Amino acid sequence: MENGITVRQVLELPALRGGLPEVLAGARQLERRVRWVHAGEVPNIASLLEGGELLLSTGLGIGTRPAEQRAFVTRLVDRRIAALVVELGQRFTRLPDAIVQTARGADLPLVQLHREVPFVTVTEQVHTEIVNSHYALLRQAEEVHRRCTQALLDGGGVAQVLRILAGFAGNPVFLESATGRLLYAVGPGPDPYEGGEPAATPGPLQVWEGLRGEPGNAVRVDIPGGGRGPAQVRARLVLLAVDAPLQPVHRAAAERAAGILAVVLMQARQEEELAARGRGDFLTDLAAGRIAVEDAPGQARVLGFEPRRDGPLLPVVMRLAEPAPSGNWALLVRAAGEELAAVGVPVLLGARPVEGRVLVLLGLRGEAERQAVATRAAAALRAGAERAGLAGSGVRPPVVVVGGAGGWAAVSAGLRHAVETAAAAEGLPSRPWYDARRLEIDLLLWRLRDDAQLAAFVDRALAPLLAHDAGARAVLLPTLETYLAHAGRKAETARELHLNRQTLYKRLARISELLGTDLDDPQTVLALTLALRARRHLSPHGAG
């Protein structure tokens, strides 16, 4: 609901309907909002108006000559009034052509009343409607305040507050730091990460650079920081008029939301986490193909990522082994960011707490440094997780997957591949990092993890070994895994298992006997290798 009522609604009120209103000009502008009603009969009435008024007149101050009449209407147009309503009888039996044509040329709503009406009654009715609409809007602002408060009490966080505000305003909402750095951006549509369809209009990052500097298109509300001088402002809410005009009630709602956010930001100091979540949303959209290739570099620049010109981009994904408390994400983001800064390449770090993922985009000089940068970046991410208490003693190490390097056109698929591979790699032996390009078979098997046929294949291939190890020391299955991992090289297998040759030979012979197959047969080796790898990914009900 917008501020005030429309010209059309005014004409439908009983007081004016009794005057038999006839619209002579500006019929396309009857949805203009009426801020106030003014009645006057002086020639210089325009100087008393501020814009948005509906002017009631009997025509006494309009003038008798065409030049005076044209000048009178032109001055009203310049003051941006909502409409001119003239009562016939005292001065005119019909409105002169000079008035009508001037109003038509300016598309100003011009209405003549064929019957006399009491202007005081019109004023009272219109002002009552305006006050009622103001009250309704204020109640909406209070409802937004209540929903924002409830969202925080329910653990929704700052991002949810911004989403509620964006939905109320029908426009994108941004949170920026006191220095103007973008922390978080959200559009007015449904949240695509909660099952909603993304809006068809441009995303908030696309409009941020273009509109944020235009004061007429924005509402800005400071979020106090409780300090003095520059510290008085901790952050800033910005509403941009992209999809609909911004009204005073939107500022009122933003001011109420700012009061809530001030307390939250002061207590949790979560600006960095929020900025990382914003970058995580961008990288998730990029992976999902919701951002066009030509738009991606500009949106990345808005978020502070400036890769080397023509240099490849390297996607990296870290997946936490266990859910992290919300408070630890701020520590993780800060620690991982500090560790990655030492890698020496441009970095875009994003967090997705709901999925337990950290997404990173690195700017390389060339493909040749991929291996070295990947190793340093993986170590930095793991070190950040340890500093945040999310890895280390008693906690399974996080999985780090590095995708293929390429330009912006390849980043979407590379990120998506790395994200999915990180989930598949959770069942694999721990490594400092995994190359997504070398886990295609594991990724395929992970995708089939709920397939009953895959479980049946594993059972047919390994059931005798599983039954043997279940009733004795579990030695045969690990021996087979190590043997196949070393491509049948017995010396290396014995060395890793700390066995002498004869013991290893006996175990391999027993495995061949139980399976009824020859471990030197290439087809047997392939089938057993696939079965062992598939067993790591089977869901609990599929594993049997």
Per-residue pLDDT of the chain (544 residues; tens, 9 = 90+): 455 688 998 899 898 888 999 999 999 999 998 888 888 888 889 988 888 899 999 988 898 899 999 999 999 999 999 999 999 988 899 999 999 999 999 999 999 999 999 888 888 888 888 777 777 777 877 888 888 888 877 767 788 888 888 888 888 888 888 888 888 888 886 655 454 444 445 577 776 765 555 556 788 888 887 555 555 778 888 888 887 788 778 888 888 888 888 877 776 556 777 788 888 889 998 998 888 888 888 888 888 898 988 889 999 999 987 776 666 788 888 889 899 998 889 999 998 888 889 999 999 998 899 999 999 999 999 999 888 887 766 667 899 999 999 999 899 999 999 999 998 888 788 889 999 999 888 888 888 888 888 888 888 888 888 888 776 667 888 888 888 888 888 888 888 888 888 898 888 888 888 888 888 888 888 888 888 888 887 855 334 3
Name the token pair of 235: 């952050």
CA distance 240 to 247: 11
* Residue 196: other Cβ atoms inside 10 A: 10
Q: What are the residue ranges of CATH 3.30.450 in the chain?
A: 155-268
324 token code pair:
């992290």
Query: What homologous superfamily is domain 448-543 in, according to CATH?
Result: PucR C-terminal helix-turn-helix domain (1.10.10.2840)
The CA distance from 218 to 212, in Å, is 7
Q: How many helices (H) and strands (E) does the chain have?
A: 20, 16
Which residues of the chain form CATH 3.30.70?
A: 276-438
Task: Tell me which amino acid residue 88 is.
Answer: L
Count of positions (residues) in the chain: 544
Q: Of the CATH numbers 2.30.30, 3.30.1490, 3.40.5, 3.30.450, which one belongs to the domain with range 155-268?
A: 3.30.450
Pairing of strands 399-402, 434-435: parallel
**Which residues of the chain form CATH 3.40.1390.20?**
5-129
User: Is 158:185 a contact under the CB 8 Å cutoff?
Assistant: no
Four-residue CA torsion sign, 160, 164, 165, 167: positive
> What is the Cα gyration radius of the chain?
35
Contact 83, 109 (CB under 8 A): yes
For the structural domain made of 276-438, what CATH number should be given?
3.30.70
∠ CA 446-388-262, nearest 5°, is 110
d(CA 423, CA 452): 20
**What percent helix, strand, coil does the chain show, rounded to 5?**
55, 15, 30
Contact 109, 26 (CB under 8 A): yes
Residue 402, beta-bridge partner list: 316, 435
- Residue 157 CB neighbour total at 10 angstroms: 18
* CATH top class, domain 5-129: alpha beta
CATH 1.10.10.2840 domain extents, the chain: 448-543
